[in-house]
Amino acid sequence: MEPLIQISDLTVDYIAEGGDVIHALRNVELQINGRETVGLLGESGSGKSSLGLALLRLLPGNAHVTSGKIEYRQQDLLRVDQKELRKIRGADISLVFQEPALALNPVLQVGLQIVDVLRAHCKMDKSQAASETNAILRQVGFAEPERIARAYPHQLSGGQRQRVAIAQALVCRPGLLIADEPLSSLDTVTQAEILELLRQLKQELNLAMLFITHNAGLLASFADRIAVMRHGQILTCGILEELRRTPDSYVQEIISPAKIIPPAMTATHSNGKPLLQIRNLSKRFQQHQILTRKKFTIQAIEGIDLTLHAGTTVALVGRSGSGKSTLARCCAGFEVPDSGEIFLEGGPIQKLSRQTRQQVQMLFQDASTSLNPRFTAEQLISEPLEIMAWGTKLERRERVVKSLQEVGLDPQTSDRLSGEFSGGQRQRLALARALVVEPKLLILDEALSGLDIPLQATMVRLLLELQLQRNLAYLYISHDLSFVSLFAQSILVMHEGRIVERIGPGNNFQGSSHPATQALLLASRSLHAPGLPLSQ
């Protein structure tokens, strides 16, 4: 196969706010052939996303390419003019971003955003563009593409937004697709569906792909070659069987993540009063169609009962759109339920004082959208303390340093803006911000789904240590049954707004019979998800 894109001696440096130089990419050499899928594997901060952005010259303003070439069909993309580059972006080479909430325009309907891509590169009228938009939305798994096309990004779940972003990237049928963690925010069932879709499109469109991920299991049956990155360098590149024979310990850890996942915890029993208690909770959302103004109701959650004790973890699992995040937002006080009751330490959560409600902290799925991009890390973490009027400036500074160290971030990075951190580092920054006020209940809404597997293991160990030290309670929202079974004392499976199955500790899903649970288990097996061995 002829080389489609050739990267030679590529070096990229970032200039941080304080003037420090961060070596994001160092002498990268990589070739992608026509119709070939190359998997780019590495931990958070290894330079994977920087390499993907560099291919289309989308690096931030503080990035500097100090050497190298990126040759695409005998053109050096680092030296072509902007007019020629605009022709290539979206048509010949497309990029699916890791965080769709940032990639999509919040004030435009998603259908219009896909139409804009079509009309920028293809000669077609509005009717043809709308038809093509509906077709690609249906192709990525939307049963009602017309309704989705009329929606705004905030009206969609995280998984639905990611599917829209994939549709936008594929609508012009590019020759090369750069997929930067395209599955990280999706439930396991949708991950398996999208992975199969990409596999089909690769065959139908003779598509080449650079698939960036932290999950080696995804690449096992999908990538032709796998390149492993660390500290901005490509350590090795080859087929999976070759990598398994590599003596490098880092390569072995990244391709065999199950070896470093923490062992299952013994169930914690508590005879005291519940920290959080939910009774018969329901929440509906009223929406209306854009053109007809006709109203319709979405029943987000219905009849939810849940009990959570201090020092324990309850996991909510389910497909995207099953109501998990709505339930979490009600518990955090961000949404007012239509019926039912939520008690925190015996008191109705809506009537608690501001200081008491700060005992409940929430980590969101997209950390970048919850962090002020104009604040440094120190300002972000100290802001809750300032709102509480806690301590002196020096005491707040000491608490910030402690929080950064607890989550594995260097205190020397406290003067960096949030945008100067990698996706995984931003999630750790959000965790430090939540922990700084010493909450009693931490709600994690897919908070670890975007992290690499070694870092997920590290973060789980950290969360378990903090739980033991502080008697913290966790409401952990995920789509990965096998992973949450490692540390959750109770697993609740949600489907269409209801809890359809409750799984106790240690049963390894034996006897789980609901179709929603079975679909999640089947998807986990097909994706080689790390965690406890699943029954066959």
pLDDT tens profile 203-221: 887 889 999 987 777 787 7
- Strand-pair partners of 234: 229
Q: Kindly tell me if the per-residue pLDDT of 535 is higher than 70.
A: no
Assess contact for 307 and 345: CB atoms under 8 A. Answer: no
CA dihedral (154, 159, 162, 164) positive or negative: negative
Across 451-463, average pLDDT: 75
Q: Kindly tell me if the per-residue pLDDT of 25 is higher than 60.
A: yes
The pLDDT value given to residue 410: 81
Q: Kindly tell me if the per-residue pLDDT of 536 is higher than 50.
A: no
Residues 135-147: pLDDT tens digits? 989 888 788 899 8
Residue 111 included in any domain: yes
pLDDT-derived band at 51, boundaries 50, 70, 90: very high
The pLDDT value given to residue 270: 54
Greater pLDDT, 280 or 320? 280
Least Cα distance to 494 among 274, 284, 324, 306 occurs for 324
Q: Kindly tell me if the per-residue pLDDT of 289 is higher than 70.
A: no
pLDDT-derived band at 244, boundaries 50, 70, 90: confident
Percent of the chain scored above 90 by pLDDT? 18
Percent of the chain scored above 70 by pLDDT? 89
Residue 142 included in any domain: yes
Which residue pairs, CB below 8 angstroms and at least 24 apart, start in 506-510?
506/264, 506/267, 508/532, 508/533, 508/534, 508/535, 509/481, 509/485, 509/534, 509/535, 510/535
Q: Kindly tell me if the per-residue pLDDT of 530 is higher than 50.
A: no
- The gap from C-alpha 212 to its chain's centroid, in whole angstroms, comes to 13
Domain range for 142 = 93-173
Number of independent structural domains in the chain: 1
The pLDDT value given to residue 261: 52
Mean confidence (pLDDT) of the chain: 82
DSSP string of 289-300, one letter each residue: -TTT--EEEEEE
Q: DSSP 3-state assignment of 38?
A: strand
pLDDT-derived band at 265, boundaries 50, 70, 90: very low
Residue 495 included in any domain: no
pLDDT-derived band at 353, boundaries 50, 70, 90: low
- Tell me the three-class secondary structure of 451-469, residue by residue: CCHHHHHHHHHHHHHHHHH
The pLDDT value given to residue 68: 93
Residue 78 burial (CB < 10 Å; 0-12/13-18/19+)? middle
Tokens of 444: 């994690």
Q: Which of 34-38, 192-196, 317-321, 505-509 has the lowest mean pLDDT?
A: 505-509
Q: Kindly tell me if the per-residue pLDDT of 235 is higher than 60.
A: yes
Residue 509 included in any domain: no
The pLDDT value given to residue 38: 94
Residue 155 included in any domain: yes
Q: Kindly tell me if the per-residue pLDDT of 259 is higher than 60.
A: no
Which residues touch 359 (CB under 8 Å, ≥6 apart)? 344, 439, 440, 441
Q: Which of 72-86, 209-223, 298-312 has the lowest mean pLDDT?
A: 209-223
**Cα pseudo-dihedral 99, 104, 109, 115, rounded to 10:** -120
Name the one residue in this structure whose structure tokens are 């998603």.
110
CA dist., res. 351 & res. 328, Å (int): 18
CA dist., res. 478 & res. 491, Å (int): 10
pLDDT-derived band at 55, boundaries 50, 70, 90: very high
Q: Kindly tell me if the per-residue pLDDT of 91 is higher than 90.
A: no
DSSP string of 235-254, one letter each residue: EEEE-HHHHHT---HHHHHH
CA dist., res. 214 & res. 479, Å (int): 17
Which residues touch 331 (CB under 8 Å, ≥6 apart)? 276, 278, 342, 349, 360, 441, 443, 475
Residues 378-426: pLDDT tens digits? 888 888 888 878 878 888 888 888 888 887 788 888 888 887 777 667 8
The Cα-based distances of 169 to 87, 115, 240, 443, 485 in angstroms read 14, 11, 27, 32, 35
Assess contact for 290 and 109: CB atoms under 8 A. Answer: yes
> pTM, whole model, 2 decimals?
0.72
Least Cα distance to 445 among 474, 483, 486, 410 occurs for 474
